[in-house]
Amino acid sequence: MVGSILTRTSGQPANSDGFVRGLSEAIGGPVGAHAVSPRRGARFWTSARIILALACIALSLNWVQKSPCRDGAWEHLNQYKYFCYTDVLALYYSEQLNAGAVPYRDHPVEYPVLTGAFMGAIGLPVHSYGVTHPDFNQGEAFYDVNALALGVLGVAAVGMLIAMRRRRPWDAVMFALAPALLVTATVNWDLLAVALTGGFLYAWSRRRPVLAGVLLGAAVAAKFYPLFLVGVLFCLALRSDRWRHFLATVAVGVATWLAVNLPVALAWPKGWQRFFELSDTRGIDWGTLWYVGAHLPRGDGRYGIPFFQRLGENVDQLNVMWITCFVLACAMILVLTAVAPRRPRLAQLAFLLIAAFLIFGKVWSQQYVLWLVPLAVLARPRWGAFLTWQAAEILYFVAFYGELMNASGKTVFPEGVFVLAASLRLVTLAVLCGFVVRDILRPERDVVRHTYADDPDGGEFDGAPDGWLAGLFRRPPADARTGALSSG
């Protein structure tokens, strides 16, 4: 009985998070150990339904926030003044969907195949209808249908977080009400990859490697970042010396990716290669570590550190530098996996790896934060550092639109303001990474392990004993060392 009460109350945010506990005092404090829960089926508004409803509200508010841009009448920089710019509407025209162009066949697309197919599956019917209805606003309809589809995917992603944390369902509120989700959900098509990645994590946690491989391959075919999760699985397989599910998932994932990509690559190779060519030739993007270095205020009206400015002028050197930094970060994560007193949880390593990719990457678009938020919720469901990071993301979001206006010829603020906002985003994310690393090195501070015995997302690794790798780094117990010294 006591165990069931502790399990029930530990899943409440106010019982496991000091920040939420303080806020809860305004309404009577945390749920007590003697609180009576309603019988199963006795109420409609369960925690899952409340959280899904909140996600629907947040995604609806995103549509409202973007609504000034829906008609496509972007005059006098209104898309920046109202913070409502969206690639979804802009690319309907730049990718020539408004002219009926089939992605990859008639026009090269700058995104992986599944995202291009998603664009075409909505854009081509909208165009066909617009041809026979001259007064029909094709761009507005294209955005609205995409917003609806992406909203469904966003709610599905929240649902998968709830399913992965049945004992801690309220953790998913952090994603459902994340400020970054509210303002970036429909900036681009990233929620497609986020939902597929969530499906992969859910399937893996339920020890279904074939389904996990299918969803992983589809996620990589939509956006490239889920590929790095293979590295996370490798680290955990190496630590636990369990390879069967890992190899099956990777094999099925590769087959799925090839099944999606090969038909397009063989039929229209130039259109298919566009994504890879653009990734290789892009220079320093706004808001990245490299941008901050190249535009850092130095006083007397001077900006930028020469080293970073030279990287901005040489894409090949920039590619070598950011890839080297990222590879070193990957090596550090592998070492962390080996030396941690307990095997790290999958979500912890996944968050660290994707965060490292963004921190050291040369491109960090505003909507990329959507990649991290679900992983942050799974890795460290604590509100304090999370909200600080989200506040920095919102500050960056606002500053970014000011920077776009600056670049369009209407000065809003000095360059240093945008550099400061980008720096705060980097610093708060790095601090959150530091907290995750601390939880790995001191697993007793990991609130998820207070509710679950090991790793609820670990799949085959959940509850598995350590393999030979951990033994290389494990120190003998103190009494064993003392005995050895005494006998000597």
Q: What does the alpha-carbon distance between residue 391 and residue 429 come to, in Å, rounded to a whole number? A: 11
Q: In residues, how long is the chain? A: 488
User: Could you tell me if 8 and 2 are in contact, meaning their C-beta atoms sit under 8 angstroms apart?
Assistant: no
The pTM score is 0.90
The 10 Å Cβ neighbour count of residue 480 is 10
In our burial notation (b when 16+ CB lie closer than 10 A, e otherwise), range 134-169 reads eeebbbbbbbbbbbebbbebbbbbbbbbbebbeebb
Is residue 72 packed enough to be buried (19+ CB in 10 Å), middle (13-18) or exposed (0-12)? middle
The 10 Å Cβ neighbour count of residue 400 is 21
Residues 6+ apart with CB under 8 A from 22: none
Residue bearing tokens 């909208």? 126
Q: What does the alpha-carbon distance between residue 2 and residue 208 come to, in Å, rounded to a whole number? A: 33
First-to-last alpha carbon distance for the chain, in angstroms, is 50
**Domain segments of the chain as ranges:** 1-29, 46-475
Residues 6+ apart with CB under 8 A from 122: 142, 145, 146, 149
Alpha-carbon torsion, ordered 293, 298, 303, 305, to 10 deg: -40
- DSSP H or E stretch at residue 351: helix 346-360
Alpha-carbon torsion, ordered 226, 427, 279, 373, to 10 deg: 30
User: Could you tell me if 37 and 402 are in contact, meaning their C-beta atoms sit under 8 angstroms apart?
Assistant: no
Q: What does the alpha-carbon distance between residue 165 and residue 145 come to, in Å, rounded to a whole number? A: 31
- The tens-digit pLDDT sequence of the chain (488 residues) is 333 333 444 455 656 555 555 554 444 455 555 555 555 555 788 999 999 999 999 999 999 999 999 998 899 999 999 999 999 999 999 999 999 999 999 999 999 999 999 999 999 999 999 999 989 999 999 999 999 999 999 999 999 999 999 999 999 999 999 999 999 999 999 999 999 999 999 999 999 999 999 999 999 999 999 999 999 999 999 999 999 999 999 999 999 999 999 999 999 999 999 999 999 999 999 999 999 999 999 888 788 999 999 999 999 999 999 999 999 999 999 999 999 999 999 999 999 999 999 999 999 999 999 999 999 999 999 999 999 999 999 999 999 999 999 999 898 999 999 999 999 999 999 999 999 999 999 999 999 999 999 999 999 999 999 987 666 766 544 443 333 333 33
- DSSP H or E stretch at residue 298: strand 297-299
Q: What does the alpha-carbon distance between residue 446 and residue 381 come to, in Å, rounded to a whole number? A: 9
